[in-house]
Structure 1
Amino acid sequence: MEARLAWVCLLMAVIITAGVCSESVKPIETLRAFADEQTRLPCVFNVQDMQNVVQVTWSREQSDGVKEPIITQHMTEGLQEFPGFNGQVRFESLDPFKDSTLVILNTKESDQATYTCHISTFPTGNFEKKIRLSVWRMPIAMLEPIILEEGQSYRVAASCRAVGLPLPQLSWDTDLPGQSQNKSSDDVVTSFFYLHPLRSLNGRRLDCLVWHPALKQPQRHSNTLVVHYPPDPVVVGYDQSWSVSRKGVELRCESGGNPQPQNFTWTRKGSGLPEGVTVEGNRLVFTRPLNKTDEGVYECVARNRMGAVRAEVNVEIPVASEAARLEASFNNLLFIIVGGAAGGLVLLMVLIVLLVNRHHRRKNRKLKRELSERNDEINNLSRQASMRRLNSVSTDPRIQTEECALIRLDSALKNSFLSLEDSDSLHGNQSPLPSLSITAGPPREAGIEKEGWGKREGVTEGEEDDCTANSYQLSEALSNHFHYSNGCLRPKPHPNAIILHPRGQII
């Protein structure tokens, strides 16, 4: 093994010192890597015809000029890793003669150096490639907030510390009235922010920004300033309008402060708290109606870690005057009277509407009943006239005239009854029926002819005219050939007349 190692060292020395056969040395490349990650150092040699690669060797040179071999692949001796690099590096390819790229498995900050890829060929000579590796470490920062108290002197409000390669820079993002100061060592940088603690600064933003060339934008570590200060209580709930017998009242002790006070104490100057009140945190609740004896100066004490502060209120409870009570009673009575009057008026209007409607319905029923009786009477007369016409043929014009008049009267009465029913159905018994005047004479002579009146159902206008014409002709004949005396109808003397005796003889 020692002979092998000596042979390899001798071979490297020969290769390094053989400058005459050297093919080329390329310019130094710069490569950036991150700590705790895998790093790849590329090195590829293109083999020409009639050219063989004998050996591939990787070495590195520290900043102090010390050189040390890392790994070697020989065409006959095989692979060899040098002390200090076992398990830390390897060739990326299974055939290092074609691809000599080196991989650092877990990069450390100490791996920052200049690396050389040396390839020995036969018969052309040597090939070298140099890579300057820079190892960066992503920054790690920590912000330490500080709790301040109101009244303290000018001091540090927060500190921010960061490590990384290269060394990061720190700044503050805030609008607080203060100043920052930075300190750095080989691998750590620290920034401090100073100010005067005031309660008005509590809760304001104080962020730390970390700047590093490996970051596209700075890291932000959020923080808010914390300033503790005593409570500042005030008693609320009393509105100068409390009076005897009032219910559901309470006093509240509202307080600021940091930290928020959780301890409250209630007292009354000159005497203890009255009976019938309870303390519920920052509330003093009166669980009964107020009395005159509840008057007094009430105090609330709020406490936090910064101290205790007192607040008070003077409670006065006057007795309600007799005039105020009378006024309230009068207002209630007036409201009741107005409401009753309005309700009575509405009820009266409803009653009037019902009575008027009932009156109209009764009147309409009465008119219908009278019209029905008159219609029955006319029908009886019409039937009697019809029976007389059937039982005997009379030439008395009075009988025909009477029959025509009855026909017209019957038609007029029926049409009036129909009109009454139509009006009743259209108006819904809302208005009284019109009064009817019925005459036995012809409609034209009576002066009441209207559309639809005087026409008997089933009798046309022509028939009525015929009835009138026949009556006129009959009356004309009777007046020319007969005369009426002593209740008998006797023929007038005529030269050409043939008179029949009642006994059947010709006179």
Structure 2
Amino acid sequence: GSLPAIRTCCRTMSVPLFLWGRSVSLILLLFVPGSPQVSVIVDREVNAKLGSDTKLYCRVKTRDIISQVTWQRKLSPNNENFLTYSKGEEPMHLTPFGQRVRFLGNGYLGGSILIPNVTLADQGTYLCIFTTSPGGTKEGKIRLSIWVEPSVEVQLNPVLSGPNPDIIAECVAFASKPAANISWDTYGLPHSSTETSVQHSNGTVSVRSQLWMVPSPGLNGHQATCLVSLPEQMYEKLIHMNITNIQYAPQAVHIKVIQRDPLYIECGADGNPPVTYTWRRVNRSITDDEAQVTGNTLYFSQRNTDNNGLYVCEATNSIGRSSTSVYLYKYSDAVPRGSYGAYIAAIVIQSLMILGMVVYFIKRKQREGMYRCRCIEGQNPPEERDESRHLDAVLSAV
């Protein structure tokens, strides 16, 4: 008999009888369709804030029939199954942790879960496992990291003014995860900083940064900013502060006139801590009848020459003291202020009258002198010469 033949495309090929069975098996394997590919899609890295509700996304891509979804936590020494789901059934929460978890899957391609109010203990590696038929099992791995927002505090401790750098301020980020980064902005003023950190048993870290500057009195009132941040822009906070802790003795003590009538003067100084003021009078006490002292002010209610004298203002704080003085002088009030014009007018009139009399008698004397000369030449009567002596006496009296 003739040998069997297999038609391939348009050719006929003879196959020896002893190879027939093996060849047919080979051909059958080539034409059996392969198993569809199964892939699990997850977010490989998830960062969640402590206390937030966190979703772990998991989805499968396959044409297989999904029979079960299983969630595990990687623990030592064995992984822990905490939730399973089978199509058509309710999710099974297998552990106390699993009791907290909500299954968000739809029984087909989705297998995501939600972990409410995440804690530091929830951090770890999670496995999302799909069991398919006929493909078997396929898993996706998720790394969950919990970050903790720090509690931020700025501290200003008193520092004495001086020429050398000192700790002006401290910025502390308490119990963050991961460790916080701290930087300073002093708006152009030279500065430096030092950092120390403390690791806590729960995995959080506290970081303390110290701001160093030269503590001059002029630094008071300037602004500085502490910037606290966590990696990957998870958290950022700016703390603005006014530098008010530079301490120095009172300086630039001065006295100024607030009001002239009645007299009201004020003493001022620059110092930190706040300055207190004391007024005193040299060689004499300040009585209530003369002036009223209120804090840094001195008020004279009356215009009186008794107020004439040297007054000293002393500015004091816990660091030191400084003083300045002012000499007050007032003319006599013998003439009432309202009669100054009349008094001056009377003096002027009196002066004019005296001047007029002097001029009158001088001219009169000059005329009599001329007449007397004529009399001597002409031997006038002696009684007229007696009158001339009388007028001389009057002028002498004047």
| TM-score of Structure 1 vs Structure 2, range by shorter chain | 0.5 to 0.7
Match of 1:161 in 2: 172
Residue type matched to 2:144 in 1? L
- What is the aligned partner in structure 2 of residue 73 from structure 1? 85
Cα distance, 1:31 vs. partner? 2.8
1:260 equivalenced with 2:263 (yes/no): no
1:117 pairs with 2:131? no
CA offsets 1:86-126 (integer angstroms, 9 cap, x no match): 43212014x44553111111222333333221111233322
CA shift, 1:66, in A, is: 5.3
Q: 1:234 — aligned with what?
A: 254
The TM-score, its normalising length taken from structure 2, stands at: 0.64
Q: Which amino acid aligns with 1:208?
A: C
Other structure's SS at 1:208 match: strand
User: Residues 58 and 128 of structure 2 are in contact (CA less than 8 Å); yes or no, is this contact kept in structure 1?
Assistant: yes
Cα distance, 1:131 vs structure 2: 2.2
Q: Which residue of 1 aligns with 2:298?
A: 284
What does residue 111 of structure 2 align with?
100
| Uncovered stretches (5+) of structure 2, i.e. residues with no partner | 1-34, 200-204, 349-398
Greater radius of gyration (CA): 1
Q: Structure 2: how far apart are the matches of 1:219 and 1:328?
A: 78
Contact kept, 8 Å, 1:176 with 1:201, in 2: the verdict is no
CA positional deviation for 1:169: 0.8
- Deviation, 1:76, is 8.7
Report the Cα distance in structure 1 between the residues aligned to 2:189 and 2:132, rounded to whole angstroms: 68
For CA contacts below 8 A with separation 6 or more, give which structure has more relative contact order.
Answer: 2
Alpha-carbon distance in 2 for matches of 1:106, 1:218: 22
Q: Provide closer, same or farther for how the CA distance between residues 176 and 46 of structure 1 changes in structure 2, counting only shifts above 3 A.
A: closer
Change (3 A) 1:92 1:260: same
- Comparing 310-319 with 34-43, greater Cα deviation is found at 310-319
1:38 corresponds to 2:53? yes
Partner of 1:83: 95
User: Which structure dedicates a bigger proportion of its chain to helix?
Assistant: 1
- Code of the aligned partner of 1:203: G
Deviations 1:154-180 (A, max 9, x none): 432111122433322110110444320
The one-letter code matched in structure 2 to 1:165 is K
Matches within 5 A, 1:99-498: 99-151=110-162, 154-162=165-173, 163-174=175-186, 175-186=188-199, 187-215=205-233, 218-225=236-243, 226-232=245-251, 233-237=253-257, 247-261=261-275, 263-273=276-286, 275-291=289-305, 293-319=306-332
Alpha-carbon distance in structure 2 between the residues aligned to 1:230 and 1:327:
55
8 Å Cα contact 1:264-1:301 kept in structure 2: yes
Q: RMSD between aligned alpha carbons?
A: 3.6
Letter in 1 for 2:168: A
Gaps of 5+ in 1: 1-20, 240-245, 334-507
Quote the offset at 1:191 in angstroms.
Answer: 0.9
Change (3 A) 1:22 1:297: same
1:232-280 superposed Cα distances (whole Å, 9 cap, x missing partner): 32223399xxxxxx9411332122222332x332221111225332112
Distance of 2:79 and 2:216 partners within structure 1: 61
Is the 2:308–2:329 Cα contact (8 Å) retained in structure 1?
yes
Shift of 1:204: 1.4
Residue aligned with 2:218, SS: helix
Taking the aligned partners of 1:217 and 1:58, their CA distance within structure 2 comes to: 30
How far, CA to CA, are the matches of 1:40 and 1:61 in structure 2? 18
Partners of 2:37 and 2:62 within 8 A in 1: no
TM-score of the superposed pair, with normalisation by structure 1: 0.52
Q: Against the structure 1 CA distance between its residues 185 and 247, is the aligned structure 2 distance closer, same or farther, given a 3 Å change threshold?
A: closer
The DSSP-based 3-state class of the residue aligned with 1:250 is strand
C-alpha change, 1:314 and 1:58, in structure 2 (3 Å) is same
Cα pair distance change 1:106/1:238, threshold 3 Å: closer
State how far apart, in whole Å, the 1-side matches of 2:220 and 2:290 are: 40
Is the alpha carbon distance of 1:193 and 1:168 closer, same or farther for their aligned partners in structure 2, counting shifts above 3 Å? same
The alignment covers a number of residue pairs equal to 299
CA offsets, 1:300-347, max 9 Å, x none?
22233333332211223344899xx569956xx9xxxxxxxxxxxxxx
Tell me if 1:24 matches 2:35: no
Residues 152/123 of structure 1: CA separation in 2 closer, same or farther (3 Å cut): same
Instruction: Answer yes or no: is the 8 Å Cα contact 2:53–2:117 preserved in 1.
Output: yes
Q: Among the aligned pairs, what percent are the same residue? A: 27
- Aligned ranges 1:6-17 → 2 under 5 Å: none
One-letter amino acid of the counterpart of residue 39, structure 1: T
2-structure distance, mates of 1:321, 1:197: 57
Distance 1:45 1:154 in 2: 62
